Structures are given as structure tokens and as C-alpha cells.
């Protein structure tokens, strides 16, 4: 197998800028010439093994960061955006898209912002009442999308919040977590009540009383307690993170604050070092981890996808949650597989089948059009409303990793890794497969061939 050359110019520039070093000073510390560094920073030459070693020795740099980051996400998002018919000249070559994503990430993000604004403006104009009656609306990203992209491009790992949560968990080690949180809240003059309530969590700032619904599962009660603790005791940290993010609207900032408090809750419930150690020992068995940490299977699966701390990374997992209509409600990927920004997931993916087999884990060996192979795990998740009249919410979660890591995951046991891999895609509109029997819409990147005298699985052909 040919050795893949490592081009990481943007990462090198980012690192040098972070340390406030000139190119000359940086080159001297790496023991290379200035022209050589300049060529590497502009991706004209790959990063050599010697430079990688010097980065680790001289700066303690986690060299795995050179091969991860925004490039794959930006490449996938650019490809999807430029497949929009509004770009009449067609989709640029994959090599060109990768070049833009790696060499000019700021330009790539600006283009994505522009395309998102176009889509939203187009959708608003399609609705007559909005077009005529909502003149105060501007073509800004929806708060939900803005926050989603914030976590997406942070690799779903927020270091400062994660470490703060771990410090709290270490201080509470060996004690009942609910009791520890109650004590911490009491120090702030807040009374905790766990009783019957229509709301899962309710805090009254006037009476300084926090109510948690007794009907909620134990894992949910713990999470909600930690969420409120984050809002009350980590406000300065959360606000500092929000200032750095520079959200465009107060609504986006508010949603992001909830997201950061959720992050703190998950990281305190499943503290990084202890959870990573247990995950490796238990070979990422979701049920054993859930039992060990008294968490839900969804909480464990989501946490596995966030283990991206520099110098202490876990397996790069993707995580997704879909509803019964196939709509993606949570998504993150530390792998090369990137989910579509618009629309649902590939119907051939096993996450959709999880609704048909409640209570069971489904395993799938899958291959995306770029030839990358994955182990994919799916299971349904049912969230009871707590009473006969309350609605039951059903989701399916998907968790997976590239096949090179599969041996470290218990779910790969007994699978034939040399056998057939299910061909899946990202979404139909950008999928390259011409013969998929589950295709819902034609690919935007290919020309259609229509022959009224011939009919195959699809009512049209796809030109090569």
C-alpha cells in the first residue's frame, strides 16, 4: 500500500500564529530552511517525518492533529453546497475542493455561509406570507444551524469546559453524585427538590428552588442536575466561550449556552480520563459503560464521539441520532464520514432499520463512495413521557468508526471483515453511485439520461 503524503499547511500556519513566531524563527526551531517551511505551509510540499518528530520534541505537539481537523468537514460541506443547481458551471474537481478546504479554510467557510444565506432567503421567498409580512427578517443563519455548525467545527470537543467538568467529577469521586450536586447548589443558597412535576427540570431564580421531575430516569435526573449546576456555577466560563464564538444573534447565543451546559453535564457525568480508560478496557461496550457510569446508552454513545482531547484521543467515532421520519436531530463525526448539512441520511444505512428491531443492536459493515470502510452500530432509543397520557419519543442512534479501529470495539467480534461491505452514501443529492436501488432523487453532480423505451430500477440513467 502506498504511503499517503501528509499536507498540513493550514495546521502549521495556525500553530505558528498561536505561538506568535515568524516563519524564520519557526523554521529555525524545526531545523529546516525558510523556503522549505514556506513550501510546507502552502502545501507545495508534504510535511516530512523529521518535521513531525521536531514538532513533537520541540513543542509537545500532538502530531495526530495534523491529520485531523476541519479539512474533511469543509470538503464534504463544500461538495454538498456546490452541488446546488444555482451553481450552473458544475461542481469543481474533488482535488480542487480539497485544496480550498486545506489551504483556504476561511474562504471555504465564507462560501458555506453565503450558500446557507441563499438557501434561507430562497425558502422565505417561497412562502408568500413571510415574503410580504416579515420584512424585518434578514438572510442570516437560523440560530439552530449556527450553533450546530459551531459544535461541528469544534470537533464536538470543548477543552476548557471538558476539563472544568472533569475537575468537578474528581472532587466528587467516590460519593453519590446527586448528593454532591445538592451540596454545591446549597452553597449558592439553592434548594433542590425531586418531586412530581410536568417539567423535567425547573429553576425559579426568585425562590432559588430547583425542581427535578421524579418520573425522569435516574440518568436523566443526574444530567439535568449537572446542567443546572453548570449554568449557576460555571457562568463565567460559559460566557467566555460564547464571547469567543461571536454568534450573530441573541437566540443563537442562548441556544449555544444551553449546548455548553449540556456539554458540561455530559463531561461531568462521564469524566474524560476515567471514561476513556473504561471505554478501552471494556472495548467500547455501550451497555457495560452505561451500567458502570449509571448513564443511558445514548449518553455513552454521544460521549464516545467527543473523546478528541489533544494528546489523549480516543477512537474517532461518528455519532448520529435520527427520528422516525429520518431527520437527523444530532450529528457529529470525528471520522472521514461527514453527514449532509441538508436532508436526511442514506436509506441503506442501518440506523433506519433500528426502529424495526427495538431493543437490539444492529451491526453493519459499510463502505462510502470514497472507498472508506466503517463498522456501524445502530439501536433504537425510546424516551417515555412518564405517564400513560404523555407522548413517547422514539429515536435511533448510530455510532461507528473506520474499520482500522474495529478490532478495539467489541461489536466487531464475529464479523467477517474480509466479506461484503454495504455500499452507503452521504445523501442522494451528492451520492455518486449510479445503480443504487434506494435512490430518492437524482444526483446533482451528474447528467441524467432519459430513455422512454427503457426502464431499470430507476426511471432514468446517470451519465458517467
Helix (H, G, I), strand (E, B) or coil at 400: strand
pLDDT of res. 456: 79
Residues 13 and 51 in one domain: yes
Q: Given a cut of 90, is residue 223 above it in pLDDT?
A: yes
Does 44 reside within a domain? yes
Does 166 reside within a domain? no
Could you identify the residue written with the cell 473523546? 307
Residues 63 and 78 in one domain: no
Low-confidence winner among 77-86, 179-188, 208-217, 315-324 (lowest mean pLDDT): 77-86
Low-confidence winner among 110-114, 117-121, 371-375, 432-436 (lowest mean pLDDT): 117-121
Beta-bridge partner residues of 204? 209
Higher pLDDT, 81 or 186: 186
pLDDT of res. 176: 86
pLDDT of res. 389: 74
Low-confidence winner among 3-7, 9-13, 113-117 (lowest mean pLDDT): 3-7
- What ranges in 60-142 are assigned the alpha helix state H? 71-82, 94-103, 105-125, 128-133
Helix (H, G, I), strand (E, B) or coil at 234: coil
Nearest CA to 80 out of 454, 460, 443 is that of 443
Does 14 reside within a domain? yes
Does 250 reside within a domain? no
In this structure, is the dihedral angle defined by the CA atoms of residues 237, 240, 246 and 247, taken in order, positive or negative? positive
Distance CA 347, CA 328 (A): 12
Distance of CA 341 to the CA centre of its chain: 11
Q: Given a cut of 80, is residue 421 above it in pLDDT?
A: yes
How buried is residue 54: exposed, middle or buried, by Cβ count under 10 Å (0-12/13-18/19+)? middle
373-383/393-402 β-pairing: antiparallel
> What's 2's DSSP letter?
P
Distance CA 281, CA 410 (A): 10
Helix (H, G, I), strand (E, B) or coil at 272: helix
Residues 59 and 84 in one domain: no
Q: Contact 366/397 with Cβ under 8 angstroms?
A: no
Residues 23 and 36 in one domain: yes
Q: How confident is the model at residue 129 (pLDDT cuts 50, 70, 90)?
A: very low
What is the extent of the structural domain holding 93? 70-127+143-154
CATH of the domain at 43: 1.10.260.40
pTM over 0.85? The answer is: no
Nearest CA to 226 out of 298, 292, 133, 164 is that of 164
pLDDT of res. 252: 92
User: The C-alpha cell of 270 is what?
Assistant: 462521564
Q: How confident is the model at residue 248 (pLDDT cuts 50, 70, 90)?
A: confident
Question: Which residue, 19, 52, 67, sits at the end of a domain?
Answer: 67
Distance CA 165, CA 269 (A): 8
Does 331 reside within a domain? no
Residues 47 and 78 in one domain: no
Question: What is the number of domains present in the chain?
Answer: 2
Residues 88 and 122 in one domain: yes
CA separation (Å) from 24 to 6, 53, 61? 22, 19, 19
Q: Given a cut of 80, is residue 317 above it in pLDDT?
A: yes
pLDDT of res. 262: 95
Nearest CA to 64 out of 278, 309, 275 is that of 309
Could you identify the residue written with the cell 520541540? 58
CA separation (Å) from 319 to 283, 328, 380, 392, 448? 17, 11, 13, 22, 33
Question: 25-71: per-residue pLDDT in tens?
Answer: 888 888 888 888 888 887 778 788 788 888 877 777 766 666 555 67
Higher pLDDT, 135 or 414: 414
pLDDT of res. 4: 56
pLDDT, the chain, mean: 84
Low-confidence winner among 108-122, 234-248, 274-288 (lowest mean pLDDT): 108-122
Does 396 reside within a domain? no
Residues 20 and 95 in one domain: no
pLDDT of res. 85: 66
Does 110 reside within a domain? yes
Does 21 reside within a domain? yes
CB-based contacts of 400, cutoff 8 Å, min separation 6: 317, 318, 335, 337, 366, 374, 375, 376, 377
Q: Given a cut of 80, is residue 181 above it in pLDDT?
A: yes
pLDDT of res. 279: 97
Amino acid at each position: 500500500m502506498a504511503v499517503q503524503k501528509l499536507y498540513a499547511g493550514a495546521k502549521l500556519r495556525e500553530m505558528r500564529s498561536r505561538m506568535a513566531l515568524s516563519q524564520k524563527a519557526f523554521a529555525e526551531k524545526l531545523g529546516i530552511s525558510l523556503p522549505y517551511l514556506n513550501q510546507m505551509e502552502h502545501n507545495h510540499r508534504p510535511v516530512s517525518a523529521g518535521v513531525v518528530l521536531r514538532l513533537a520534541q520541540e513543542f509537545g505537539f500532538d502530531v495526530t492533529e495534523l491529520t485531523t481537523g476541519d479539512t474533511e468537514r469543509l470538503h464534504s460541506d463544500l461538495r454538498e453546497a456546490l452541488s446546488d443547481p444555482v451553481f450552473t458551471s458544475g461542481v469543481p474537481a474533488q482535488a480542487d475542493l480539497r485544496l480550498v478546504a486545506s489551504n483556504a479554510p476561511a474562504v471555504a467557510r465564507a462560501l458555506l455561509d453565503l450558500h446557507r444565506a441563499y438557501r434561507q432567503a430562497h425558502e422565505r421567498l417561497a412562502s408568500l406570507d413571510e415574503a410580504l409580512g416579515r420584512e424585518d427578517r434578514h438572510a442570516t443563519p437560523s440560530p439552530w444551524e449556527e450553533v450546530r455548525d459551531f459544535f461541528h467545527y469544534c470537533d464536538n470537543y470543548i477543552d476548557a469546559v471538558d476539563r472544568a467538568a472533569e475537575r468537578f467529577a474528581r472532587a466528587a469521586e467516590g460519593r453519590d453524585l446527586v448528593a454532591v450536586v445538592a451540596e454545591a447548589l446549597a452553597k449558592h443558597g439553592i434548594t433542590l427538590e425531586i418531586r412530581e412535576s410536568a417539567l423535567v427540570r425547573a429553576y425559579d431564580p426568585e425562590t432559588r428552588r430547583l425542581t427535578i421531575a421524579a418520573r425522569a430516569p435516574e440518568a436523566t435526573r443526574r444530567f439535568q442536575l449537572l446542567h443546572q449546576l453548570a449554568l449557576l456555577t460555571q457562568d463565567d466560563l460559559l460566557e467566555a466561550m460564547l464571547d469567543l464564538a461571536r454568534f450573530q444573534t441573541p437566540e443563537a447565543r442562548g441556544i449555544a449556552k444551553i449546548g455548553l451546559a449540556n456539554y458540561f453535564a455530559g463531561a461531568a457525568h462521564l469524566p474524560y480520563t476515567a471514561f476513556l480508560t473504561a471505554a478501552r478496557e471494556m472495548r467500547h461496550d455501550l451497555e457495560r459503560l452505561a451500567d458502570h457510569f449509571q448513564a443511558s446508552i445514548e449518553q455513552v454513545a454521544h460521549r464516545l464521539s467527543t473523546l478528541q482531547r489533544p494528546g489523549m484521543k480516543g477512537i474517532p467515532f461518528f455519532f448520529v441520532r435520527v427520528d422516525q421520519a429520518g431527520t437527523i436531530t444530532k450529528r457529529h463525526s470525528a471520522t472521514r464520514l461527514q453527514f449532509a448539512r441538508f436532508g436526511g441520511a442514506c436509506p441503506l444505512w442501518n440506523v433506519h432499520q433500528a426502529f424495526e428491531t427495538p431493543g437490539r443492536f444492529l451491526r453493519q459493515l459499510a463502505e462510502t463512495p470514497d472507498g472508506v470502510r466503517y463498522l456501524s452500530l445502530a439501536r433504537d432509543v425510546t424516551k417515555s413521557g412518564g405517564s400513560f397520557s404523555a407522548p413517547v419519543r422514539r429515536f435511533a442512534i448510530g455510532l461507528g468508526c473506520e474499520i482500522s479501529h474495529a478490532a478495539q470495539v467489541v461489536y466487531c467480534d464475529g464479523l467477517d471483515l474480509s466479506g461484503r461491505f454495504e455500499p452507503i452514501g452521504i445523501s442522494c443529492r451528492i451520492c455518486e453511485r449510479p445503480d443504487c436501488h434506494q435512490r430518492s432523487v437524482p444526483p446533482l453532480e451528474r447528467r441524467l439520461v432519459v430513455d422512454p423505451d427503457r426502464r431499470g430500477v430507476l426511471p432514468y440513467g446517470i451519465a458517467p
